[in-house]
Structure 1
Amino acid sequence: MGSSVGKILIVDDEENARIGLSRLLSQEGYDVDSVGDGREALDFIRDHRVSLVISDIHMPGMNGLVFLRELHRSHPGINVIMITAYGGVESYLEAMNLGAFEYINKPVKLHELKSVMNKLFRHGDSVTV
Structure 2
Amino acid sequence: MEIALQRDQKRILVVDDEENARIGLSRLLAKEGFLVDSVSNGYEALNYLRQQDVNLIVTDINMPEMNGINFLKELNKSFPKSNVIMVTAYGGVESYIEAMNLGAFEYINKPVKMEELKSILKKIFKETNH
Query: Shared topology, TM-score over 0.5?
Result: yes
Kindly tell me: are residues 5 and 96 of structure 1, through their superposed partners in 2, closer, same or farther at Cα, counting changes over 3 Å?
A: farther
Matched with 1:4 is 8
Deviation of the 1:3 alpha carbon = 6.6
Output aligned runs, 1:28-67, within 5 Å. Answer: 28-67=32-71
Matched with 2:73 is 69
Which protein has greater RCO, CA pairs closer than 8 Å, 6+ apart? 1
Q: Aligned partners of 2:10, 2:119: CA distance in 1, in Å?
A: 17
Matched with 1:89 is 93
User: Unpaired segments of 5 or more residues in structure 2?
Assistant: 1-5
Considering only aligned residues, what root-mean-square deviation do their CA atoms show, in Å?
Answer: 1.4
Which amino acid is 2:83 matched to?
N
* TM superposition score normalised by structure 2: 0.92
Q: Aligned partners of 2:87, 2:94: CA distance in 1, in Å?
A: 14
Percent identity of equivalent pairs: 62
Matched with 2:23 is 19
> After TM superposition, what 4+ stretches of structure 1 lie above 6 angstroms from structure 2?
none
Q: CA deviation digits over 1:16-75, x for unaligned, max 9?
A: 000000001101100000000000000000000111000000000000000000011101
Deviation of the 1:6 alpha carbon = 2.3
Output aligned runs, 1:110-129, within 5 Å. Answer: 110-123=114-127, 125-127=128-130
Deviation of the 1:126 alpha carbon = 4.8
Kindly tell me: are residues 25 and 3 of structure 1, through their superposed partners in 2, closer, same or farther at Cα, counting changes over 3 Å?
A: farther
What is the SS of the residue equivalent to 2:119?
helix
Q: Aligned partners of 2:102, 2:9: CA distance in 1, in Å?
A: 23
Kindly tell me: are residues 24 and 70 of structure 1, through their superposed partners in 2, closer, same or farther at Cα, counting changes over 3 Å?
A: same
User: Unpaired segments of 5 or more residues in structure 1?
Assistant: none
Kindly tell me: are residues 59 and 49 of structure 1, through their superposed partners in 2, closer, same or farther at Cα, counting changes over 3 Å?
A: same
Q: Aligned partners of 1:111, 1:105: CA distance in 2, in Å?
A: 13
Q: Is the 8 A contact 1:3 1:31 kept in 2?
A: no
